[in-house]
A and B are shown apart, each in its own frame.
Chain A
Amino acid sequence: MEEKSVNKTNSNGYTFMFAVILVVVVASVLAFTATSLQPTQRENVRQEKMQNILATVGIETDRPGAQKLYDQYIVEELALNQNGEVDESKNAFEVDLAKELKKPVEEQTFPLYIAEVEGKRYYVLPLRGNGLWNAIFGYISLKDDVNTIKGATFDHLGETPGLGAEITKQWFKEAFEEEKIFDSNGNLVGVSVVKGNIDASDKDDNKVDAISGATITGDGVSDMISERLKRYLPYFEKQKDIKVAIK
């Protein structure tokens, strides 16, 4: 190529050659970077997951410190099937809900994390559902009565900043604390995100106040919570030491 003068760069053959070489070089550089950075990126995602799980049981930590606290407080990771039986062959932490939700219910695996903080037992359930534009997800933790919510975290892929994306904000998460997931008749209703002035101090109404301008994202949160919770009922009913508030 070195011998070619500037005007030769306009020939068809040269143009094709140049394009091919450029694409091959660029592709190899990108592929190399992506593969070499992947372990670090995966680790970040893992740590963030631990951080989120810990946050629902009231333990705030930064990302690098998550692993240590996770090992300390999370006592069990269970992979459940739809009948509430523990599947020992699966690693609950590695279960990808995005893939699970595409399978029929009978084939899905339901991860459950059990935390013990200051002698109290909490059940942490991963959530995933649909917002307005894309997936929304998060974690919700239940106290040992399997009725009262200890904490919740939410995140999203592509909700509108300032509207749907507000579900990640502290004030929205806090509204879920102490809410009940069963109504007074013992039916599992989850927690609904509802428009109108919801009394934040009433923790037995199964409702939290919605974000104005984010009705569909809010409905997505409600649906996600009730859909996911009901999958874990068979497991909770089997546990003798848990008195599930169902009639």
Chain B
Amino acid sequence: MAKEKKYNSAKEEEKKQEMILFLSDSEEKEHFLSKGNRKLLSDPLDDNNPITVQVLGICSALAITVQLEPAVVMAIAVMAVMAFSNMIISMLRNLIPSRIRIIVQLVVVASLVILVDQILKAYAYDVSKQLSVFIGLIITNCIVMGRLEAFALGNGVYKSFLDGIGNAAGYGLILIIVAFFRELLGSGKLFGFEVLGHKGATLADSTGLYALGYENNGLMLLSPMALIVVGLIIWVQRARNRKLIEAN
């Protein structure tokens, strides 16, 4: 890795001379949390959110947002995969033959996902059982490849790392908001705790809201409701942030 990095910075010098000046090529001189770098982290949370603005990675937002816990683990796993794949692709960006770059990206992402899966199986066995196939499906998460293609291929290593973290955080944020509403309204729980009271077999056995005749909304547990919740989030976000509204 160290050798690659050294080689990479040498390459960057060369590139400067070739007048192909990407913003990131001066990254060594920039403060490590400069305004530009902070923007890389904060932009995907709101103005350029991968799910609500770029509409990427919707598929997994449907599948794993029934409960909060898997959503949080998924967000962390996606963050690890995105940060490292962005870094690796950015390191190799001047070496990758452009004709096979998509395959190279895929190989890097797939290997990282397998690594995450193996590590979870060894050190977080119960969580890995709960997430089962969804960890493997990170490979198909359009956000990962999208950021590699759109950002990491043309930017420096540190900036790419921040971009990966930022986009994964933006993705995770929406995932967690959706999971919050689905778990709360669908099963009356948060992280598995019965926050709305306990639902007994009869009204008399119930406590909390259930004693007043409240019922869980089973529809919230089905996939379409994830899309509807995402739709509502997009509505709220655009009502608040006018510049996201398209001109027409």
Contact = CB atoms under 8 A, between A and B. Distances in A.
Interface majority SS on B: helix, strand, loop or mixed?
helix
Contacts of A83: none
B95 interface: yes
Interface residues of B, number: 24
Contact of A9 (B98, B115, B121): B98
A23 B94 contact: no
Contacts of A65: none
B99 A10 contact: yes
Interface in B83-115: 94-100, 103-104, 107-108, 111, 114-115
A24 B104 CA distance: 13
A30 B95 contact: no
B122 A41 contact: yes
A63 B126 CA distance: 9
B97 A9 contact: yes
Contacts of B96: 9, 18
A243 B133 CA distance: 46
Given A22-B104, A23-B107, A37 B122 contact: yes
Name, among B7, B115, B221, the residue most crowded by chain A CB atoms within 10 Å (CB to CB). Answer: B115
A30 B115 contact: yes
A22 B119 contact: no
A81 to B, nearest CB: 33
A18 B121 CA distance: 31
Nearest to B222: A162
B68 to A, nearest CB: 16
A2 interface: yes
A44 B115 contact: no
Given A2-B7, A9-B98, A44 B221 contact: no
A37 B98 contact: no
Contacts of B94: 6, 9
B107 A22 contact: yes
Given A2-B7, A40-B123, A34 B97 contact: no
Given A37-B119, A40-B123, A44-B122, A30 B114 contact: yes
Contact of B121 (A6, A19, A26, A41): A41
A1 B95 CA distance: 9
B189 to A, nearest CB: 15
Interface string B69-95: 000000000000000000000000011
B100 A19 contact: yes
A41 B121 CA distance: 6
A198 to B, nearest CB: 17
B54 interface: no
B48 to A, nearest CB: 29
Contacts of A26: 107-108, 111
A44 B107 contact: no
B118 interface: yes
Contact of B100 (A1, A18, A63): A18
A2 B221 CA distance: 55
Contacts of B119: 33, 37
A68 B103 CA distance: 48
B97 A14 contact: yes
A64 B90 CA distance: 41
B32 interface: no
B235 interface: no
Contacts of A63: 125-126
Interface centre among B94, B99, B121 (most CB of A within 10 A): B121
A29 B118 CA distance: 12
Nearest to A4: B95
Given A10-B98, A18-B100, A40 B122 contact: yes
A69 to B, nearest CB: 18
A1 B4 CA distance: 12
A33 B118 contact: yes
B125 A44 contact: yes
Nearest to A2: B7
B122 A29 contact: no
Contacts of A18: 95-97, 100, 104
Interface in A26-83: 26, 29-30, 33-34, 37, 40-41, 44, 48, 63
A15 interface: yes
The 10 A-B pairs at the shortest CB distance, nearest first, are namely: A40-B122, A44-B125, A15-B97, A37-B122, A26-B111, A9-B97, A41-B121, A41-B122, A37-B118, A18-B97
Given A63-B125, A63-B126, 6 more contacts: A18-B95, A22-B104, A33-B119, A34-B118, A44-B121, A48-B125
